[in-house]
Amino acid sequence: MRSPPVFDSTTEAALRYDALHADRTADVAFYAREAGRSGFRVLEVGAGTGRVALALAAAGARVVGLEPGAAYLAVAAAKRAAEAPDVRARIGLVRADMRAYAFRRPFDRVLFPFRVFQAMLTVPDQLAALEAAHGALAEDGRLVLDLFDPRLDVLAEAAEGPAALAETGRGYSDARGEWRERVAARYDLDAQIVDLTYVYERSAPGGGVAERSFERLRVRYFTRWEFEHLLARAGYEVEALYGGWGGETTDIEGEDMIWIARKAEG
């Protein structure tokens, strides 16, 4: 059986990202409250199409969006060009890897929104990304990121074998028609990696499927205590941990873990 194409930074994927997540606004509001203060210098790591960065710039922050994907940056640049002049002046876009970058001036906030840190699959990569962010932070700055909180019942089921292709309930429209999203997940329980294959199907006018598109995404999942230890190794202290965008506790598995950390003393 032919393997699906590996996820890549394509214009199609970037535009699909915006279409699928147009209604995802609670996290944007949280990051705007945390980092969109007037005059704050903010670095967004994994800025994608500028979904968060543009909102922060509109709220008054001076933002640098760091993104490795050229197609995603091109979409973000086009969206920036449509903003008011004062907003455009407050946002810069840089193509770089989250594991290796440096800036001459420190940032008040370094953000990793929408679980982008989970693209770091190995401990060396995770530490490199956290240490690069540490070096970019002002002494009184804060690291802010969100991760998926894994559900233990799903992991138990995953031990029995890969899941079949399933409907996600999500879809979107573009100039070619209506698309629906399906996904199949394969878990490596030892490495704590989920290998996700997304299938996007465009409906034919008379029924059936007219076209298919594929994306593959591999992400690392973390337990709470594991990630707290990882932060400590990279020189951080945890300041706050939330389970929701309204400041909820972390009692419910399968939701978000939203971390705020500062540089450890000494």
Query: In angstroms, rounded to a whole number, what is the distance separating the alpha carbons of residues 118 and 112?
Result: 10
* Whole-prediction pTM: 0.93
What is the rounded average pLDDT for all residues in the chain?
92
CB atoms inside a 10 Å sphere around CB 260: 16
Contact in structure between 115 and 146 (CB atoms under 8 Å)? yes
Burial class (CB in 10 A: 0-12, 13-18, 19+), 183: middle
Q: Quick one: pLDDT at residue 253?
A: 64
Query: In angstroms, rounded to a whole number, what is the distance separating the alpha carbons of residues 241 and 70?
Result: 33
**Residue written as tokens 């409906």?**
203
Q: Quick one: pLDDT at residue 6?
A: 34
Nearest to 16 by CA among 203, 173, 211: 173
Q: With a cut of 70, which residues of the chain have pLDDT below it?
A: 1-9, 251-254
**Residue written as tokens 């001076």?**
62
Contact in structure between 141 and 263 (CB atoms under 8 Å)? yes
Nearest to 104 by CA among 116, 113, 117, 92: 92
Q: Quick one: pLDDT at residue 165?
A: 93
**Residue written as tokens 């704590």?**
192
Tens-digit pLDDT profile for residues 75-124? 999 999 999 999 999 999 999 999 999 999 999 999 999 999 999 999 99
Q: Quick one: pLDDT at residue 5?
A: 34
Edge-to-edge order in the sheet of strand 236-242: 91-95, 62-67, 41-45, 107-112, 137-148, 256-263, 236-242
